[in-house]
Amino acid sequence: MVESSPFAIVVHSQEKIDYINPEGIRIMGGQSDADFIGRSIWSFIHPEYLPGVKERIQQIYGFRQDVGMAEEKFVRLDGRAIDVAVAATPVNYLGKPSAQVVFRDISKRKEAERQLQLSEKRFRSIIEHSVDGIMLTNEAGEIVEWNPGMEQITGYGRDAALGVPLWEMTHRLLPDSDRQQTNAKSLQSQMHPFYETGEATWLNRIDERTLQNRQGEQRIVQVITFAIPTAEGAMNGSIFRDVTAKIEQDRQMRQQEQMAAVGQLAAGLAHDFNNILAVIILVADMTLRSKQLSPDTTTAVQTILQQSNRAAELIQQLIDFSRRSVLEKQRVELRPLLQNLFQMWQRTLPIHIHLQLDSGSDTAVIYADPTRIQQVFVNLVANARDAMPDAGQLHVTLQKIHNQHYPTPSLNPEIEEWVKVTVADTGCGIPLEVIPRLFEPFFTTKEPGKGTGLGLAQVYGIVKQHDGHIELVSEPHKGTTFTLYFPAMA
For residues 146 and 286, give the distance between their C-alpha atoms in angstroms, rounded to a whole number: 79
Rounded to an integer, the average pLDDT of 37-53 is: 93
Contacts of 421 (CB under 8 A, 6+ apart): 334, 338, 377, 396, 397, 398, 483, 484, 486
**Alpha-carbon span 177 to 409, nearest angstrom:** 30
Output the pLDDT for position 326: 65
Q: What's residue 7's pLDDT?
A: 92
pLDDT level of residue 450 (50, 70, 90 thresholds):
low
Go through the chain and tell me how many residues it has.
Answer: 490
| CB of 386 closer than 8 Å to CB of 444 | no
Query: Is CATH 3.40.50.300 what the domain over 131-242 is classified as, yes or no?
Result: no
Which tens digit of pLDDT belongs to each residue from 162-202?
Answer: 999 999 999 999 998 888 888 888 888 888 888 888 888 88
What's the CATH number of domain 8-108, 3.40.50.1220, 3.40.50.10490, 3.30.450.20, 3.30.720.200?
3.30.450.20
Of residues 404 and 10, more confidence is placed in 10
Residue 350 pLDDT > 80, yes or no? yes
* Spatial separation of the C-alpha atoms in residues 206 and 125, rounded to whole Å: 24
Q: What is the pLDDT of residue 325?
A: 61
Helix (H) or strand (E) holding 239: strand 233-242
- Cα three-residue angle 159-165-169, rounded to 5 degrees: 70
Better-scored residue on pLDDT, 404 or 299: 299
Q: Classify the C-alpha dihedral 454-456-459-461 as positive or negative.
A: negative
Helices 370-387 and 455-465: crossing angle in degrees, nearest 10, is 150
pLDDT digits (tens, 9 = 90+) for 159-172: 999 999 999 999 99
Residue pLDDT, tens place only, 210-257: 999 999 999 999 999 999 888 888 899 999 999 988 888 887 777 666
> In the structure, what pLDDT confidence band is assigned to residue 320 with cuts at 50, 70 and 90?
low
Query: What's residue 254's pLDDT?
Result: 73
Q: pTM of this prediction?
A: 0.51
Q: What mean pLDDT is predicted for residues 326-349?
A: 88
Looking at the chain, which residues constitute the CATH 1.10.287.130 domain(s)? 247-321
* CATH 3.30.450.20 residue spans of the chain: 8-108, 131-242
Collapse the DSSP code of 79 into the 3-class scheme (helix H, G, I; strand E, B; otherwise coil) and give the result. Answer: coil
Chain CA centroid to CA 314, Å: 42
CATH 3.30.565.10 in the chain is located at 330-487
Q: How far apart are CA 392 and CA 384, in angstroms?
A: 9
Is the pLDDT confidence value at 434 over 90? no
Q: Does domain 247-321 have CATH number 3.40.50.720?
A: no
**R_g (Cα) of the chain, nearest Å:** 41
**How far, in Å, CA of 146 to CA of 151, rounded?**
7
- Please provide the DSSP assignment of 421-437 as one string: EEEEE-SS---TTTGGG
Mean model confidence pLDDT for the chain: 86
Alpha-carbon gap, residue 484 to 423, rounded angstroms:
8
- pLDDT value at 90 more than 90: yes
Query: What phi and psi, each to the nearest 5 degrees, are found at residue 191?
Result: -85, -25
Instruction: Look at residues 365, 387, 346 and name the one whose alpha carbon lies nearest to residue 475.
Output: 387
**CATH 3.30.1490.20 correct for 330-487:** no
